Amino acid sequence: MSASLNSSRRAATVRSLRAYRSLFAALAVLLALPSAAAVEQESQFVFNTFSFLIWGALVMWMCAGFTMLESGSVRTKNASVICLKNIGLYSIAGLMYFIIGFNLMYVDVDGWIGSFEFFYGPSAAEVALLDGDPGAAEAVHGQGFSKMSEWFFQMVFVATTASIVSGTLAERVRLWSFFVFTAVLAGVIYPVVGAWTWGAGWLGGDDGWLAGLTGTAFKDFAGSTIVHSTGGWAALAGALVVGPRLGKFRSDGTVRPTIPSNIPIVTLGVFILWLGWFGFNGGSQLALGGASDAVAMSNILVNTNLAAGAGVLAAIIVSRPLLGRVDLLAGLNGAIAGLVSITAAPDILDHRWAILIGFVGGVICTTGIRFLEQIKVDDVVGAVPAHLFAGVWGTLAACIAGGANFVSQLIGVLVIGVFVFGLSWIVWMVIDKVLGARVSREVEEIGQDVGELGMEAYPEFMLMPDPDLIPDLPEEESAGGSEKGG
């Protein structure tokens, strides 16, 4: 009985092996066919395009994170304006990048700047393919990805840059003045920086003068400097021109704390940003056409997550000696700082370096918050320390394990910083003279929601005094308050 059973098993095994051999032989024949190469190229085109669109949508969702973070950080009287500013800046950034920004950044870059042509669209081959020309398929597949998928992914990055400025200048910058600056930032300032670097210009190209000087081009994988420091420099220039909020700094030099109106919303915003950052850094691989891209993306997402976690812990640890308390908001900003820090080189292979880079970023951010208070620069959400200071650190830290050259990185940081801060300061000054950069004292006191929009974010909310905390409150007022509160 046992021998018969073993014989049956051997026969079944032989049949299985023969079936597998037949399957592998069929696959080998299929892969040898001329059409197989075309199918493979089309598959790569589809995966690359799909990657751009999905990662781009995830980065777009970061706008919701910025909205939550900012609206929760300000007082309730300014929350509605924050919401309008964020949906407005995303819309303006997208339109300006479509009209002129993308062309300046990527099309026919001559080392300094790209094309001044207006508007951008699909390639001629893509148009022909959609018109039913089957002969255009090969040319489309050879592009590697859809042209407009690339535009979409690049566009959501400029919206992130503009969001940084929004948070710093909250509660006192005029709505339309901010929109005007956003148009200039998205249409000119950011694209010029991008042309110098990602557009294969004079900082980023292998044949650029910086690469010729140092032997290594400027490296910024996903934008620690190109996106985040650019937004930070623009925000710092605006903060200096607009000035601090009323009463933020007392006459004796001490800082008047302004308590966020909704801590849970701020925390939710940071988690949304953390999620969006996976698209920010992972999508910057710019391809998903094979196993190497998939492995690289996996490493990038892990490094991104590790750096953020290390930034949180670092900020919490140093918040007590620096700020006098274990500070939740410092921890939240520490997450962003860790994310910004690793963004220049999230493709490093040793994940332990990501922890170190993120940890130092969290320390730098918390220290930077304290530093700005000492020099009386009012940054409502701590965007300058989290994006500018941590962005500079992350760009330089790309030399540790990311293969960057320190001289190239330092020169790139300085050149971009001088350009962005200088031009942003000029633009803010012009806006201030022509439109007025700051709301009136009356609007700032009553809040921008009522002063500029004629509405309130929380119209049914009424703060009632607690009679137990105010012993001198008359009995009739206490009774009235109890009835309203009940």
pLDDT class of 26 with cuts at 50, 70, 90: very low
Under 8 Å between Cβ of 196 and 414:
no
Task: Give dist(CA 151, CA 171) in Å, integer.
Answer: 33
What pLDDT does residue 274 have? 98
User: Cα(first)–Cα(last) distance of the chain, in Å?
Assistant: 85
Residue 44 host element (H or E): helix 34-60
* Residues 14 and 67 placed together within one structural domain of the fold: no
* Residues 335 and 476 placed together within one structural domain of the fold: no
Residue 461, Cβ density class (10 Å: 0-12 exposed, 13-18 middle, ≥19 buried): exposed
pLDDT of residue 396 exceeding 90 = yes
pLDDT of residue 457 exceeding 60 = yes
What pLDDT does residue 207 have? 65
pLDDT of residue 256 exceeding 50 = yes
pLDDT class of 204 with cuts at 50, 70, 90: confident
What is the percent of the chain where pLDDT is above 90? 76
What pLDDT does residue 323 have? 86
Number of C-alpha atoms within 13 angstroms, CB side, residue 28? Answer: 6
Q: How many structural domains is the chain composed of?
A: 3
Residue 255 pairs in a beta bridge with 249
CATH assignment of the domain containing 114: 1.10.3430.10
Read off the tokens for 95: 């339109």
**416-429 pLDDT, tens digit each:** 999 999 999 999 99
Identity of the residue numbered 184: V
Read off the tokens for 431: 């806006």
Residue 39 lies in a domain: no
Mean pLDDT of the region 97-124: 93
Residue 350 lies in a domain: yes
What pLDDT does residue 280 have? 97
Residue 438 pairs in a beta bridge with 173
* Residues 481 and 390 placed together within one structural domain of the fold: no
Count CB-CB contacts under 10 A for residue 176.
13
Residue 38 lies in a domain: no
* Residues 24 and 164 placed together within one structural domain of the fold: no
Identity of the residue numbered 380: V
Residue 248 lies in a domain: yes
Under 8 Å between Cβ of 327 and 375:
no
Mean pLDDT of the region 219-232: 97
* Residues 78 and 196 placed together within one structural domain of the fold: yes
**119-171 pLDDT, tens digit each:** 999 999 999 999 999 889 999 999 999 999 999 999 999 999 999 999 999 99
Residue 9 lies in a domain: yes
Does 204 or 378 have the greater pLDDT score?
378
pLDDT of residue 394 exceeding 90 = yes
Which domain covers residue 9, as residue numbers? 2-32
Task: Give dist(CA 168, CA 106) in Å, integer.
Answer: 29
* Residues 461 and 408 placed together within one structural domain of the fold: no
Residue 45 lies in a domain: no
Which residues contact residue 295 at a Cβ distance below 8 angstroms, ignoring those fewer than 6 apart?
A: none
* Residues 329 and 258 placed together within one structural domain of the fold: yes
Task: Give dist(CA 106, CA 191) in Å, integer.
Answer: 8
**298-330 pLDDT, tens digit each:** 999 999 999 999 999 999 999 999 888 889 999
pLDDT class of 22 with cuts at 50, 70, 90: very low
pLDDT of residue 20 exceeding 70 = no
pLDDT of residue 29 exceeding 70 = no
Does 476 or 92 have the greater pLDDT score?
92
Residue 41 lies in a domain: no
pLDDT class of 485 with cuts at 50, 70, 90: very low
Task: Give dist(CA 108, CA 106) in Å, integer.
Answer: 6
**332-364 pLDDT, tens digit each:** 999 999 999 999 999 999 999 999 999 999 999
pLDDT class of 467 with cuts at 50, 70, 90: low
Distance of CA 62 to the CA centre of its chain: 7
Read off the tokens for 320: 């007590």
Distance of CA 281 to the CA centre of its chain: 9
3-state secondary structure of 65: helix
Name which of 306, 292, 279, 267 is nearest 223 in CA terms. 279
What pLDDT does residue 466 have? 46
Distance of CA 331 to the CA centre of its chain: 18
* Residues 475 and 437 placed together within one structural domain of the fold: no
What pLDDT does residue 463 have? 52
3-state secondary structure of 131: coil
Average pLDDT of the chain to the nearest whole number: 88
Mean pLDDT of the region 54-80: 96
Residue 157 lies in a domain: yes
pLDDT class of 172 with cuts at 50, 70, 90: very high
Task: Give dist(CA 160, CA 195) in Å, integer.
Answer: 18
* Residues 460 and 428 placed together within one structural domain of the fold: no
Task: Give dist(CA 438, CA 185) in Å, integer.
Answer: 18
Mean pLDDT of the region 442-451: 94
Highest mean pLDDT: which range of 29-43, 178-192, 205-219: 178-192
* Residues 12 and 139 placed together within one structural domain of the fold: no
Distance of CA 443 to the CA centre of its chain: 31
Under 8 Å between Cβ of 332 and 385:
no
Mean pLDDT of the region 103-128: 92
Task: Give dist(CA 471, CA 32) in Å, integer.
Answer: 90
Mean pLDDT of the region 245-269: 91
Count CB-CB contacts under 10 A for residue 212.
12
Identity of the residue numbered 209: W
* Residues 20 and 110 placed together within one structural domain of the fold: no
* Residues 82 and 120 placed together within one structural domain of the fold: yes
Residue 206, Cβ density class (10 Å: 0-12 exposed, 13-18 middle, ≥19 buried): exposed
What pLDDT does residue 40 have? 87
Under 8 Å between Cβ of 147 and 52:
no
Under 8 Å between Cβ of 347 and 300:
yes
What pLDDT does residue 473 have? 42
